[in-house]
């Protein structure tokens, strides 16, 4: 879709770090702002009942003319922008990909303007600033995480104050990264708790029991992951006397396996280059792939040495496929059909091949339901093959 509207001022800036990215800063009279811009790309739900939202509503309709100075405005992702200087109109092309283009940040501001601009005094013009980013290779997930942090971080910090992460803290306290997880705002530690939650979310077999639904949000954003964790605690609440969740809570059941999740993720991250070489018969350079940098470094959790920096958009659809190996046991816990590391050793090359044959754009790969489903089926087929082999051995 495209929106065309009159603007009051426009500035255009090429990114010095990536000249293919252009940012347009436009100041728009609130009365001229379109009311149909897509908002699906924004991971934060709009809730106009909060105190902050009510202040925004008042800021739109009150007699203070300096909204564009006091408010940080809205951030949009667009496929293209055209400006017609003869009549000061701006055309924004959002294409048809609502999960890629639209209002990335400032959803509450946008909703407040739509609800209250009719109440702006007739003799007053009020403006909102739009920051519109255009670029073929923009990483939507990374931008979303960077631009939508304030509410999420505060919510996570609040959960920490209420000891809602206590069962996770206890589970990883003896791990080498146990004291490196940040549960508070601005805590000087290497690993955000959101990263741990993402690893667990990808193995939530209550929500994602097969290949019909896939945990793409473990790659695409923190908001959905934290919301799921929060909702699970609400559904299977804390047992106050023991300060731990109800045993039916999927995250409680996943917690003992956090070290395994970490080991699996980092094993894939470290060994993916070797699997890629096997898949390409050593004839292609992984560092030439977008989203992969040939640079010595260390993994996030265990600080293990690695040869490449690899976008999680390639790793997560492989990592998440191994939930096919997880099962519920008769005593209400979780266990593995087979050791996921051992299975990775057997079929890792096939998973890497399927991933890079499907897409070499990390953002597209990370959000590709088709890729997640196909990788899951590869692991599931290996699981079924091994189970049949076990049964045959029992018969003899």
pLDDT value for 257: 97
pLDDT value for 44: 66
**Inside any domain, residue 246:** yes
Could you tell me if 369 and 231 lie in one domain? yes
Phi, psi of 87 (to 5 degrees): -130, 15
Could you tell me if 367 and 227 lie in one domain? yes
Could you tell me if 232 and 350 lie in one domain? yes
If one counts the domains in the chain, the total is 2
Could you tell me if 256 and 365 lie in one domain? yes
pLDDT tens digit string along 273-332?
Answer: 999 999 998 777 888 888 888 889 999 999 999 999 999 999 999 999 999 999 999 988
Could you tell me if 188 and 128 lie in one domain? no
Final residue of a domain: which of 80, 110, 140? Answer: 140
Could you tell me if 126 and 165 lie in one domain? no
DSSP 208-229: --SSSS--THHHH-HHHHHHHH
**Inside any domain, residue 85:** yes
Count Cβ atoms below 10 Å from residue 86 Cβ, excluding itself: 5
Could you tell me if 255 and 113 lie in one domain? no
Could you tell me if 223 and 347 lie in one domain? yes
Could you tell me if 106 and 17 lie in one domain? yes
Helix axes 340-358 and 258-279, enclosed angle (nearest 10): 50
pLDDT value for 363: 84
CA distance 338 to 340: 6
Tracing tokens 């979780």 back to the chain, one arrives at 334
CA distance 16 to 298: 28
pLDDT value for 214: 96
Q: Are 276 and 270 in contact (CB under 8 A)?
A: no
pTM: 0.66
Could you tell me if 192 and 125 lie in one domain? no
Tracing tokens 């990370």 back to the chain, one arrives at 366
Please report the sign of the dihedral spanned by the C-alpha atoms of residue 101, residue 359, residue 317, residue 18.
negative
pLDDT value for 32: 97
Could you tell me if 135 and 207 lie in one domain? no
**Inside any domain, residue 145:** no
**Inside any domain, residue 10:** yes
Phi, psi of 129 (to 5 degrees): -95, 130
Final residue of a domain: which of 140, 166, 189? Answer: 140
* Upper half-sphere CA count for residue 242 (Cβ side, 13 Å): 8
pLDDT tens digit string along 97-122?
Answer: 777 899 988 999 999 999 999 999 88
Q: Are 76 and 37 in contact (CB under 8 A)?
A: yes
Could you tell me if 302 and 367 lie in one domain? yes
Final residue of a domain: which of 93, 121, 140? Answer: 140
Give the domain extent around 358.
150-393
pLDDT value for 166: 85
Q: Choose among 59, 68, 38, 32: nearest CA to 116.
A: 59
Q: Tell me the CA distances in angstroms from 232 to 3, 56, 164, 206, 228, one per residue in order.
A: 39, 30, 11, 11, 6
Residues of the chain with confidence (pLDDT) below 70: 43-44, 139-142, 144-163, 184-187, 237-245, 396
């Amino acid at each position: 879709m495209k929106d065309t509207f009159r603007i009051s001022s426009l500035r255009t800036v090429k990114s010095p770090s990536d000249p293919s990215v252009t940012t347009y800063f436009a100041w728009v009279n609130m009365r001229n702002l379109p009311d149909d811009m897509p908002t699906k790309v924004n991971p934060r739900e709009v809730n106009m009942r909060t105190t902050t939202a009510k202040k925004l509503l008042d800021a739109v309709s009150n007699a203070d003319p300096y909204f564009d100075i006091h408010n940080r405005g809205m951030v949009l992702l667009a496929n293209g922008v055209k400006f017609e200087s003869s009549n000061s109109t701006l055309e924004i092309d959002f294409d048809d990909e609502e999960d890629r283009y639209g209002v990335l940040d400032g959803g509450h501001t946008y909703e407040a303007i739509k609800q209250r601009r009719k109440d702006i005094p007739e003799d007053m013009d009020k403006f909102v600033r739009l920051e519109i980013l255009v670029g073929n290779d923009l990483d939507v997930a990374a931008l979303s995480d960077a631009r939508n942090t304030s509410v999420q971080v505060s919510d996570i910090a609040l959960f920490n104050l209420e000891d809602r992460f206590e069962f996770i803290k206890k589970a990883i306290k003896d791990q080498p990264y146990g004291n490196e997880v940040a549960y508070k705002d601005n805590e000087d530690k290497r690993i955000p708790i959101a990263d741990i939650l993402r690893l667990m979310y990808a193995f939530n077999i209550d929500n994602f029991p097969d290949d019909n639904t896939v945990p793409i949000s473990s790659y695409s954003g923190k908001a959905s992951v934290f919301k799921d964790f929060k909702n699970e605690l609400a559904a299977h609440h804390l047992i106050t006397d023991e300060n731990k969740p109800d045993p039916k809570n999927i995250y409680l059941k996943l917690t003992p396996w956090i070290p395994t999740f970490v080991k699996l993720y980092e094993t894939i991250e470290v060994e993916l280059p070797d699997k890629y070489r096997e898949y390409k018969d050593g004839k292609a350079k992984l560092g030439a792939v977008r989203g992969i940098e040939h640079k010595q470094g260390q993994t996030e959790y265990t600080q293990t040495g690695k040869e490449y920096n690899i976008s999680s958009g390639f790793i997560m659809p492989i990592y998440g496929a191994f939930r096919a190996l997880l099962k519920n046991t008769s005593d209400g816990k979780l266990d593995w059909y087979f050791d996921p590391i051992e299975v990775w050793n057997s079929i890792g090359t096939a998973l890497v091949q399927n991933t890079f044959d499907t897409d070499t754009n990390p953002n597209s790969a990370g959000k590709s339901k088709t890729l997640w489903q196909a990788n899951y089926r590869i692991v599931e087929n290996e699981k079924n093959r091994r189970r049949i082999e076990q049964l045959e051995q029992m018969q003899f």
